[in-house]
Structure 1
Amino acid sequence: MAPLLGGVPHGAALVGPGSEVLAFDTGRSADHGWGPRVLVFVAEGDVAEVEARVAGGLPGRFGGFPTVFSYRGAERRGVEVWEWGAWLRGRLGFDPREGVSALDWLSVPWQRLAEVTQGEVFHDDLGELTGVREVLKWYPDDVWRYVLACQWRRIAQEEPFPGRCGEVGDERGSAVAGARLVREVMRLVLLLRRRYPPYGKWLGSALARVPGSAELAEALGAALGARSWREREAGLSLAYSRAAALQNRLMLAERLDEGVRAFHDRPFMVIGGDRFARALLGSVADPVVRALPVAGCVDQVVDSVEVLDDPVVARAVTAAALGRAAAA
């Protein structure tokens, strides 16, 4: 690429959508929209010139692969030329170089934060790629505590359901409730490990890369494979306790008992996720974050792909969920 740019200051990286950005690609990934790709970032005044150079000078093949390939029914050039701010606003809904508010942090899906902060950087003589990735590599501590608290709250809201469904003979409903909780624990542990959880297809793959996840995976596997609600509850209980122990080791909030207990006077064992949520929220110092309702980031508010794939809609939904406090 460098000869085509003729000395124009630029950044070049493999970021944005695509399983290869997060290193989850396999041979199967090559069956659609596949080819050598790179995004080139230049100043706004250089975009047209560099695009023309790329269009006129890009070889038809590179490394044995075509450099123009079909993607969703349209032809796509593997080299995309962007002004950095325009690309950031299109992917995130804001430009982090202008500052990052609490609403900014909470309105961007985890998948997109991962797509910007991971992937390989090949060149960056402008320094902007490196600077933005450094800013976005992880939440500020108080935002992190808030998101973790909201994740524990999601567990608290449903943790007695597998037992309650099983008690009335609804093992199918218990299995569904249990699987939902498995997903929430997986996301919680990734967040505790300072990893942005990817979207559903790669959630298990991401957890498998986390150091020390084998025992947790065993507990979650037992919950998913259980044939009775009591077995399911046992697997979930072990997973909850391991997540609680991890949080205690990180010293993000006051240390809490890691054991499960009865759900009030009912015979269902729960960790009491609200205990951990309250402890985390109590350790938040930022007044803006402290004022937020316990709703969470956009991934915790909504599952709709139509929302998560549109930064404008994602921001509006998040702002509505957080209310007036989000504007602070």
Structure 2
Amino acid sequence: MAGRTDEQHRIALFIDFENLVTNTGISSNNFDLQPALDQLLEQGKVVFRRAYCDWSRFADAKVRLHDVGVELVDVPPSTRAGKNSADMRLVIDALELCYAREQIDTFVIGSGDSDFCPLAYKLRENGRTVIGLAVKEASSRMFVNACDQFIYMRPKSRGDKDKEHGGKGHKGDKSDEGRGGKRGGKGGKGDEGKGHKGEASGKEGHEGKGGKSKAEVPAIAREVVQSLLRRATGPLNPSLIKETIVRKEPDFDERDHGFSTFARLLEALEQEGLLRRIQQGRQGYVVGPDTDLPVASEGKGGKGRHAKAPAPVEEEDEELESYPDPEDEGL
């Protein structure tokens, strides 16, 4: 499983629905799973989707969950107090799937309850990746640390979520200019550029319209970058840096620190002098700030798995080797 790429991940999603809509700021009538699904689909295929609860209490959420392909498992109350065994059913089904379907390598647990810590430990013990999914204010820190990664659901109105999706759904220069213009505060192109630069440096840009806190590089990012570059024998793939940060802090999200993308965070680290970004072909890499070797030598000399980009020097050597030997011509 360690050799799989992101596109090959097979993901199973288990949701303790009552936990996600009880005292979390999210109600069953505005519950929107799509933003979380979008993040999971970036990591692989979500081949199993199941939600557990007493659906007679949350009937208004059933249609939206059906629309995104979630199977609803009804767990009626088993006590006079109205408690049900949804969490127990979820644990049993997750372990059964773990042992019966080896191709499913990632399990997502939609809950913030620390009662699911033993399940997370057992899944990881069996070589599975565990992702938690819940509202931040209703998530146990113990459960967050028990997961490999944690995705926070943000309680927002349906209209706000639809508007946010509309803004994020278009990639390219136009959308970037629009975001830059909002941050810069003016409509001109020059101000748009300043908006992006400010966001990256953490000194000028702000996140969104509400004037939230300025972008600041988190300490965990500095720590990981310095540690990896100190041991690196060649250029590093930026994805390795992100994966290492998430392993140390499962709920890490660069957007919480004011950066729209991880590339913006790397740009801020470069401006602080902690790293240098280079380009080899279509792939970007990260090297130490004091690296004196040319880019080609970095790609050639690095023995790590992230330092295998073709170097221009190697291509030049191949061309020289194709020339005929002058002594052969004399013969």
Larger Rg: 2
Greater relative contact order, per chain length (Cα 8 Å cut-off, separation 6+): 1
- TM-score under structure 1 normalisation? 0.29
Name the TM-score, length of structure 2 as normaliser. 0.29
